[in-house]
């Protein structure tokens, strides 16, 4: 896996970097695989049209017009959002937000949450503990 990480980094990372941060990379990849399986199992997917709708809603909300019935305003917002689709970083941010919100909603529906009081030290220890 270390060789794969180096080869897929397109020269941005050296074997020494991978060696030093391997545990973090392994955890990240493990979570991405788990997340991907959860998304597929629950048939969670988003299209470019979903991204356009989200960008349009966000723009209208930013302008204080989230609940507007003005079709001209909505058309202009959609036109601006369509232009924003050219910005790959923004599109990726929206996809990430849509998936994060869908996963959060799925977890809230699937699990019973109970609060547990922890000190900061206990929380850090739990976050750094190996997966079991």
Residues 73-107: pLDDT tens digits?
999 999 999 999 999 999 999 999 999 999 999 99
The mean per-residue pLDDT over the stretch 18-28 comes to: 84
Residue 131: the pLDDT is 67
Distance CA 119, CA 39 (A): 33
Tokens 């206990």 locate to 122
Tokens, residue 18: 């991978």
Q: What tokens were used for 61?
A: 């909300």
Taking only Cα atoms into account, the Rg of the chain, rounded to an integer number of angstroms, comes to 20
* Distance, CA of 129 to CA of 132 (rounded, Å): 9
Q: How confident is the model at residue 17 (pLDDT cuts 50, 70, 90)?
A: confident
Give the model's confidence band at 66: pLDDT under 50 very low, under 70 low, under 90 confident, else very high.
confident
112 confidence band (pLDDT: 50, 70, 90): confident
Instruction: Supply the mean pLDDT for the chain.
Output: 89
Token pair recorded at residue 31: 């979570």
Question: What gap in Å lies between CA 16 and CA 110, rounded to an integer?
Answer: 41
CB 101 within 8 A of CB 109: no
């Amino acid at each position: 896996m270390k060789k794969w990480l180096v080869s897929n980094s397109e020269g941005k990372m050296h074997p020494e970097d991978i060696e030093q941060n391997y545990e973090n990379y392994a955890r990240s990849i493990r979570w991405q695989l788990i997340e991907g399986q959860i998304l597929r199992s629950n048939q969670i997917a988003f299209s470019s049209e979903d991204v356009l709708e989200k960008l349009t809603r966000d723009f209208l909300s930013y302008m204080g017009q989230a609940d507007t019935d003005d079709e001209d305003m909505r058309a202009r917002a959609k036109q601006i959002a369509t232009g924003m689709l050219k910005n790959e970083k923004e599109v990726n941010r929206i996809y990430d937000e849509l998936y994060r919100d869908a996963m959060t909603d799925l977890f809230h529906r699937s699990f019973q949450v109970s609060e547990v009081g922890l000190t900061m030290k206990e929380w850090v220890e739990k976050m750094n503990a190996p997966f079991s």
